[in-house]
């Protein structure tokens, strides 16, 4: 007789799929209930997993458990990389600043981490008008999204998960035919679980299609984040912004923005607006710096003319942070005599922390289910 137990996962973003995959490997039958069908839908800013850039670096997220979750995630990414999981790549990544910057807390976990002092005289991305004052580089995992996400979805479905497309309402929670429910509904949790913490960071991505992989002089793929200083690029309320360049098999991802805000009761953005200078591409207004800063750096560093690449797409998505302190929610709750395990509020690090959070969900299950 099968000892497998049934569990319901709400949401099939990166959190829901990672939890589903891990639980399947540990004797659970998984049913996923999701409002959006990721096989069909391609743009809905509230469905964050349509948008990640997706570097495996813990940023724009708040939780006292970041270090352990990140470490756990990295060990899962190591194993997946060893198995050559589709879309999971590792390459040299630069973080560069036009003004001073303290080392990040994650430095200790990154492979081949070194600071600007050590590589100032060797290859690194540059801007012709903005001298780099601080920075570091390391080897970093990236999920090439158009490969990684479908591969994860397929592997979960092929392992027998049922995917039900349904928009759940609060009252539906009472009638769900499962004893155990893992909530990975992201921003949907605001209504579904009466979560009053609705803080978002809106992000703009400019996708350059049919662009080549860019390499360092050794022939290795590279990516970068560049912070030009608040006087060059800031949000409406004055917060310094950075831009980032991530190469993918289907072109380049040029980010970005982190505009703080919330949605009103009609789902309309009420936060910071894109201020001048801005530029309209593909029918959407984005900060002009995303284009101009990358244009300069790509030319200076790789001799690449951004203007040459005219197939462009703009994407706008929300990173759901919940609140500025302890935003990530990873805990159990009993509702209608059922065990719910919450896993949401990953901000800008849902991919980064996906496996660590899935592992934590599994531990909470083991602790609470006999
Ligand atoms: C521009 C941008 C760049 C980013 N870059 C990175 C990066 O480089 N690295 C990184 O780690 N992270 C990055 N992120 C963050 C990352 O995308 C998110 O943290 C992550 O996708 C969150 O995934 P999730 O599965 O928790 O939620 P979501 O992807 O939002 O999924 C929620 C799921 O719940 C379902 N749902 C919601 N409400 C209901 C309901 N009532 N009933 C049924 N189903 C429901 C939805 O349909 C969906 O399936 C980025 C985000 C943005 C916007």
* Chain segment 310-331, per-residue pLDDT in tens: 999 999 999 999 999 999 999 9
Classify 255 as helix, strand or coil: strand
User: Residue 2's pLDDT band (boundaries 50, 70, 90)?
Assistant: low
Test site for ligand 1: of 40, 49, 286, most ligand atoms within 8 A of the Cβ = 49
Note the pLDDT tens digit of each residue in 179-223. 999 999 999 999 999 999 999 999 999 999 999 989 999 999 999
Q: Distance, CA 345 to ligand 1 centroid (Å)?
A: 9
Q: Find out whether the beta carbon of 352 lies less than 6 Å from any atom of ligand 1.
A: yes
Q: Which atom of ligand 1 is nearest to the CA of 345?
A: 26
Please write down the HEC assignment for all residues of 154-213.
HHHHHCCCEEEECCCCCCHHHHCCCCEEEECCHHHHHHHCCCCCCEEEEEEEEEEECCCC
Per-residue model confidence as pLDDT tens digits over 257-270: 999 999 999 999 99
Does the CB atom of residue 357 touch ligand 1 within 6 A?
A: no
- Contact of 9 with 32, CB cutoff 8 Å: yes
Checking if the pLDDT of 370 tops 80, the result is no
Instruction: Please tell me if the CB atom of residue 87 comes closer than 6 angstroms to any atom of ligand 1.
Output: no
Residue in 152, 175, 178, 188 to alter for ligand 1 test, most ligand atoms within 8 A of Cβ: 188
Going along the chain from its start, the domains and CATH numbers come out as 5-368 (3.40.50.720)
34 C-beta closer than 6 A to ligand 1: yes
Q: Is 12 in the pocket of ligand 1 (CB under 6 A)?
A: yes
Element (H, E) at 29: strand 28-34
């Amino acid at each position: 007789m099968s000892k497998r137990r049934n569990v319901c996962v709400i949401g099939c973003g990166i959190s829901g799929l990672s939890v589903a995959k891990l639980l399947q490997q540990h004797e659970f039958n998984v049913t996923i209930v999701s409002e959006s069908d990721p096989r069909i839908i391609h743009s809905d800013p509230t469905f964050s997993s349509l948008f990640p850039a997706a570097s495996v670096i813990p940023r724009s997220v708040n939780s006292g458990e970041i270090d352990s979750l990140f470490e756990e995630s990295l060990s899962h990414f190591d194993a997946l990389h060893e198995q050559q999981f589709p879309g999971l790549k590792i390459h040299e990544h630069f973080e560069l600043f036009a003004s001073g910057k303290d080392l990040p807390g994650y430095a200790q976990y990154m492979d081949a981490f070194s600071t600007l002092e050590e590589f100032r005289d060797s290859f690194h991305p540059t801007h012709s008008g903005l001298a780099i004052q601080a920075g570091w580089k390391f080897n970093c995992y990236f999920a090439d999204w158009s490969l990684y996400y479908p591969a994860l979805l397929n592997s979960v479905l092929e392992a027998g998960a049922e995917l039900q497309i349904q928009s759940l309402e609060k009252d539906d929670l009472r009638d769900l035919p499962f004893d155990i429910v893992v909530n990975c509904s992201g921003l949907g949790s605001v209504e579904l679980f009466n979560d009053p913490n609705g803080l978002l960071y809106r992000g703009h991505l400019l996708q350059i299609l049919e662009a080549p992989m860019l390499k360092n002089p050794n022939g290795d793929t590279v990516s970068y984040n560049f912070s030009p200083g608040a006087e060059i690029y800031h949000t409406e309320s004055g917060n310094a912004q950075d831009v980032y360049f991530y190469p993918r098999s289907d072109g380049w991802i040029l980010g970005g923005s982190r505009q703080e805000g919330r949605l009103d009761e009609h789902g309309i953005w009420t936060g910071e607006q894109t201020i001048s200078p801005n530029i309209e591409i593909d029918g959407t207004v984005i900060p002009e710096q995303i284009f101009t800063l990358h244009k300069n750096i790509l030319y200076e560093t790789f001799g690449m003319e951004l203007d040459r690449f005219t197939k462009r797409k703009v994407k706008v998505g929300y990173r759901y942070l919940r609140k500025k302190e302890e935003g990530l929610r990873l805990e159990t709750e009993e509702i209608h005599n059922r065990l719910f395990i919450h896993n949401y509020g990953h901000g800008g690090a849902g991919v980064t922390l996906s496996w660590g959070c899935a592992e934590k969900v599994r531990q909470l299950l083991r602790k609470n289910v006999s």
